């Protein structure tokens, strides 16, 4: 059975491959969601992870290079800091009350953080002309988890309106459309 640490390692490796393929001159390319640049995808993850998965658990934000100067370095430092937390039971197993309820830091990173990385991997690849293919098992699991929560997720403001796709669209296309992106 996969642990939150194992899953994060896998999804982070996939995201790292996309980051590593970004040409230096593509970091300012427009990215989904509207108004973002490719580097903003990494910046979002750095800001959100630092606040939710570090500050909420009483840890200082990890020291990260500026996303404006070194987006790949920002991602690498964030990835390593999160992995270190997940590999340390004294830090990973601490419970805090967060929306959607009390959970360990490892559970929170798994349910919220790793899932976000998968979706934003597509955003970064789309922005920079990279490989947009996502792990089919991750896509299947995310779609199965998210579709029943459509109204709740939509009302959170974190997802745009669902984009209509053909009824026989593959799961990745359906997931990307579900989160409000144009596949």
* 77 vs 147: which has the higher pLDDT: 77
For the segment 12-30, the average pLDDT, to the nearest whole number, is 98
Strand-pairing partners, residue 97, are 102
Supply φ then ψ for residue 36, to 5 degrees: -95, 160
Rounded Cα gap, residues 108 and 98, in angstroms: 8
Q: Is the pTM of this model over 0.85?
A: yes
Characterize the bridge pairing of strands 95-98 and 36-37.
unpaired
């Amino acid at each position: 059975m996969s642990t939150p640490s194992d899953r994060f390692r896998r999804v982070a490796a996939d995201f790292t491959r996309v980051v590593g393929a970004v040409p230096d001159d593509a970091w300012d390319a427009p990215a989904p969601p509207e108004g973002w640049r490719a580097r903003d995808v990494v910046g979002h993850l750095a800001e959100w992870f630092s606040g939710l998965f570090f500050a909420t658990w009483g840890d200082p934000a990890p020291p990260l290079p500026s996303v404006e100067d070194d987006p790949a370095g920002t991602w690498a430092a964030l990835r390593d800091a999160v992995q270190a937390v997940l590999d340390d039971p004294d830090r990973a197993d601490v419970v805090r009350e967060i929306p959607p309820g009390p959970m360990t830091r490892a559970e929170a990173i798994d349910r919220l953080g790793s899932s976000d990385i998968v979706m934003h991997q597509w955003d970064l690849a789309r922005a920079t002309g990279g490989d947009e293919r996502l792990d089919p098992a991750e896509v299947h699991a995310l779609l199965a988890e998210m579709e029943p929560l459509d109204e709740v997720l939509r009302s959170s403001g974190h997802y745009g309106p669902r984009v209509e796709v053909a009824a026989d669209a593959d799961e990745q296309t359906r997931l990307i459309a579900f989160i409000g992106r144009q596949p």
